[in-house]
């Protein structure tokens, strides 16, 4: 998926993510984790190659690439006043119970949502797009412990069932242990695979 990718201070990063697998990325603040995700999403200039199956990023129009490789940033963006404006018409009937919302949430104003509620809905919004790859930038950072574990379980079930390849930026060693099939850490300018469960 990533071959000799360079972005910011990160150089020569290579890794492969299989469908249905979660690769966690960790590293100090400012080390380039979010920029790496943005490069994979074709949102930031970078060196090296990114591919999805047989599709090479450079050969695919950016908007098509981002419909297949979907990024959920730490601070989600909302363009319409109502939540439902960001979803297909039938989204309310398919709303996962794990998110903890009533169907009426589609009529709510985005302004009334807490940061944690926005984060949960942004994850569902990404999955509704039926991506082949997901790029998650600290997707549970604004959630309490109980909500975090519920969202992790729901996300992992969806990822396995749909065979989505996932890059997941995380800081919490406990979360990394729970969700990661493989763990990489940014150290200086390099991406290193972490062996063991830490």
Contact by Cβ (8 Å): 18, 164: no
Domain for residue 177, yes or no?
A: yes
pLDDT in tens, 2-18: 999 999 999 999 999 99
Domain coverage including residue 129: 16-32+70-194
Length of the chain: 198
pLDDT in tens, 111-164: 999 999 999 999 999 999 999 999 999 999 999 998 999 999 999 999 999 999
Q: What is the mean pLDDT of the chain?
A: 94
Domain for residue 60, yes or no?
A: no
What was the pLDDT predicted at 92?
83
Using N-to-C axis directions, what is the helix angle for 115-128 and 145-162, rounded to 10°? 10
Contact by Cβ (8 Å): 195, 36: no
Domain for residue 145, yes or no?
A: yes
HSE on the CB side for 102, CA within 13 Å? 3
- What mean pLDDT do residues 97-113 have? 94
- What mean pLDDT do residues 66-88 have? 95
The CATH number given to whatever domain includes residue 140 is: 3.40.50.300
The total number of structural domains that make up the chain: 1
């Amino acid at each position: 998926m990533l071959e000799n990718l360079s972005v910011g201070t990160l150089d020569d990063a290579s890794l492969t993510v299989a469908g249905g697998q979660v690769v966690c990325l960790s590293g100090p603040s400012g080390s380039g984790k979010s920029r790496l995700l943005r490069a994979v999403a074709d949102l930031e200039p970078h060196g090296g190659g990114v591919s999805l199956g047989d599709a090479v990023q450079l050969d695919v129009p950016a908007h098509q690439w981002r419909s297949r490789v979907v990024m959920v940033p730490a601070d989600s963006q909302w363009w319409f006043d109502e939540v439902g404006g960001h979803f297909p018409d039938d989204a309310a009937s398919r709303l996962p119970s794990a998110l903890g919302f009533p169907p009426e949430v589609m009529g709510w104003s985005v302004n009334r949502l807490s940061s944690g509620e926005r984060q949960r809905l942004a994850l569902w919004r990404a999955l509704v797009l039926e991506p082949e790859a997901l790029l998650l930038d600290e997707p549970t950072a604004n959630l309490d412990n109980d909500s975090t574990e519920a969202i992790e379980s729901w996300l992992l079930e969806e990822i396995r069932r749909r065979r989505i390849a996932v890059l997941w930026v995380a800081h919490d060693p406990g979360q990394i242990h729970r969700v990661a099939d493989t763990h990489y850490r940014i150290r200086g300018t390099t991406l290193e695979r972490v062996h063991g469960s830490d």
